[in-house]
Amino acid sequence: MAHNRDQRRLLIVSNRLPVTIERRRKRLSYRPSVGGVATGLGGFHQQHNSAWVGWPGIVAEEGEKEQIAERLKSQFRSYPVFLSRAHIEGYYHGFTNKTLWPLFHYFPQFAKYEASEWKAYLEVNRLFGKRVSEIAQPDDIIWIHDYHLMLLPGLLRRSLPKATIGFFLHIPFPSLDIFRLLPWRKEILQGLLGADLIGFHTFDYARHFLSSLLRLHGLAHEMGQITVGNRLVKVDVFPMGIDVRRFQAEATSSRTEKEVRRLRRKAGNRKIILSVDRLDYTKGIPERLEAFELFWERHPEWSQKVTLILVAVPSRTKVESYRNLKRQVDEMVGRINGRYSTAGWVPIWYLYRLLPLPTLVTYYRIADVGLVTPLRDGMNLIAKEFVATRKEGKGVLILSELAGASKELGEALIINPHNREETAQAIEEALTMPDEEQVARNRTMQRRLSRYDLLHWAEDFISGLLEVKDLQRELETRKLSVQVMNRLTKLYQESSHRLLLLDYDGTLVPLVEQPSKAKPDAALLSLLRGLAATPQNTVVLISGRDRQTMEEWFKGLKIGLVAEHGVWMREGPTDLWRMMEGLSLEWKEWIKPVLEKFVDRLPGSFVEEKEYSLVCHYRRADPELASLRAKELMGTLTALTANTELEVLQGSKVIEVKFASVNKGRAALSWIGGGGFDFILGVGDDWTDEDLFKALPEGAYSVKVGLGTSNAKFYLDSPEDVRQLLKGLIAKEMKR
């Protein structure tokens, strides 16, 4: 693998360690953890240069902690985070499983919003952050997992600003309408943005996350890339795989073959439908039983010919909603069995227990149909495991369209789990499907699962993470570093004829929703006055603003002004404004109605009319609707202005129509063309400034404000950084 991956340690961070400690007869026993991330990545951890940080599953006494930590480190390459009973109650049983779990699975009616539990969640994330910071090495790749630790990337970014941090969410990320119900939604987003790469199982989850970022934080993305301050964050999709070879080996072992024959004798010639789930309200078990009962009502010919093996793994038994679900399932199974059982046949075998892997694989093998119909599931690896164990290729998977796995396993019978009729019909179709069709469907899915297995998934994520860091480092080389700043300042001091070409909005002042509110403050006016006071300096403000505004705001300053991107120019305060060339206004009559229609359809937007350009601002509009409307407007305007002298520019939340022959680069040439400058600095923030950067001579310094592709040689993070740069030039000048 590229990026020197083999020499770097992988630091896996999850709620649970791959090993669980239990206290038995006053002695501590260590056993492999079952379920979740710990099981999924346990094998990967054993085979790679990695360490694991997580809770060991026990409330340790003070005298035990050192002994536990040493054994976990030496035998399991694991580092424990010790939690108190109060932490476990508030963080795990509370916020993660009473707030995040139901909300992210579209069950807001079960979500509780307790400030004390949020506080516990924050405290535990801080404990994890402290532990990771203690053991992390400079070259470590830190991979954080799941909804228990959504604040951790941001906490680590503050303590380890240069760290390589990835985050993967194993459950769904909900739509904005659901996510915005969370009182601490912005804190969660800010926490996740501490990662360099944020991974999801499906495109839908990634899209929901990006939509929430846009609507709640105003952060737009470009091909999944988001600029967060001076950092680049990538959002991408990585559907988690399984260890296919492990399941295939287990499915063909002699032990499994023996158990399959025994269970087959017990089941007789009946068809077996298998349902395996944690007993959780997201899994749709009652809905599944209702559909199964409907199947029997409509197809009495299958009586005594089909058995449903319902495996319900105990889960969160201390939570009231889970206890209620257990009672409901017990009653439904009892009622259905009571209604349909005969002397030699029970329609449902109900197993309320956790099955060890060999037993689980045995049940996969004897099943003719896998019934996997959650109401909402991040991925659902049960579906993939069932397909992987189809030794002869026979067997039919019925899969919910609301499970992430449905995006990959399209050859399964995909159903809406809320539609009992559709599920019952799928059961009948599965039981009667010809063997050849079963084999064809399963072989296709098996090939896909083998290509993108657990190892491929993990390596793919890590490769993606390192590629983001490579891109960040590449961008950092363009940042105006201290060394470059020193060279720039030295050249500035040694020069005798300097030209400073400065954009205004987004460069000297931050962008604001209402353009009129970007009036220069006293500190900026003082800074410009100081720059202009030096005889060697020629200072020019090149802006898209109209000339009346610029004259009012910068009245009396001995600086050059360029308005409307170059339509109007003025060399100094006593000079008259002059036009670059003669321009007509007739085009406004047919362009302005188009912009006004756009504004009518986009609340929060407005049209600004300048002398020789029209600008549509939509910074205050709904960001998603604005994005859609802006694309429509760009398409319409581009078509209308084809074969004319006009051009359409799309900047930061603005669309402007102006003459193509007028641009900042051409305006700058009016000063550059005079020659004689031995120092030139050009600074701007958006793509209207790209013409300026292209017009600068080879030896000039060009600086863009903000990350992104640009013709500028360097970049700075913010207008405040630009001001600091200019202040530094004045300070050095005064010391000479």
CATH code, domain carrying 686: 3.40.50.1000
| Cross-strand bridge partners of residue 22 | 29
pLDDT for the residue numbered 2: 43
User: Which H/E stretch holds residue 658?
Assistant: strand 654-659
| Pairing outcome for strands 654-659 and 646-650 | antiparallel
DSSP secondary structure letter of residue 113: -
Contact 51/18 with Cβ under 8 angstroms?
Answer: no
Joined together, the tokens standing for residue 475 give: 């961008």
Which range marks the domain in which residue 548 is found? 482-581+662-735
Domain limit, last residue, from 405, 431, 449? 449
Q: SS3 for 380-437, per residue? A: CHHHHHHHHCCCCCCCEEEEECCEHHHHCCCCCEEECCCCHHHHHHHHHHHHHCCHHH
In a domain, 459, yes or no: no
Indicate the SS3 state at residue 176.
helix
Domain membership of residue 468 (yes or no) is no
Phi, psi values for residue 144, rounded to 5°:
-100, 140
648 within domain boundaries: yes
Is residue 277 domain-shared with residue 130, that is, in the same domain?
Answer: no
Whole-Å CA distances, 85 to 32, 74, 118, 711: 22, 26, 16, 57
Eight-class DSSP state of 509: B
pLDDT at 230: 79
Domain boundary among 237, 266, 283: 237
* Same domain, yes or no: 308 and 222: no
Please give the pLDDT value at position 161: 94
Q: Which residues of 193-217 are buried (b: 16+ CB within 10 A; e: fewer)?
A: bbbbbbbbbbebbbbbbbbbbbebb
Q: Which amino acid is at 236?
A: D
Same domain (yes/no): 226, 257 = no
What was the pLDDT predicted at 96?
96
C-alpha separations of 355 from 149, 360, 647 in Å: 28, 6, 67
Same domain, 64 and 157: yes
Q: Which residues contact 48 (CB under 8 A, 6 or more apart)?
A: 10
- DSSP 8-state assignment for residue 652: S
Supply φ then ψ for residue 513, to 5 degrees.
-65, -40
Report the chain's C-alpha Rg in angstroms: 32
Residues 162 and 180 in one domain: yes
Number of domains in the chain: 4
For residues 385 and 391, give the distance between their C-alpha atoms in angstroms, rounded to a whole number: 12
224 and 84 in one domain? yes
**How far, in Å, CA of 649 to CA of 686, rounded?**
11
Q: Which residues are catalytic?
A: 503
With a threshold of 0.85, does the pTM exceed it?
no
* Residue at token pair 């809320």: 418
Q: In whole angstroms, what is the distance from residue 311 CA to residue 328 CA?
A: 15
Q: Are 110 and 281 in contact (CB under 8 A)?
A: yes
Tell me the CA end-to-end span of the chain in Å, nearest whole number. Answer: 54
Q: Do 606 and 699 share a structural domain? A: no
- 460 located within any domain: no
Q: Are residues 547 and 616 in the same domain?
A: no
User: Rounded CA gap, 191 and 72, in Å?
Assistant: 28
Strand partners, 308: 273, 348
Pairing of strands 225-228, 164-168: unpaired
Rounded CA separation 182/174 (Å): 11
What is the block-wise mean pLDDT of the chain (736 residues), using blocks of 10 residues? 65 93 86 75 80 93 91 94 96 95 96 97 98 96 97 97 97 96 97 98 95 88 85 94 93 94 90 96 96 94 94 85 92 95 92 93 97 96 96 96 95 97 97 97 96 92 95 84 90 94 94 82 94 93 90 92 90 86 84 92 90 88 86 91 88 86 88 87 89 92 87 92 92 65
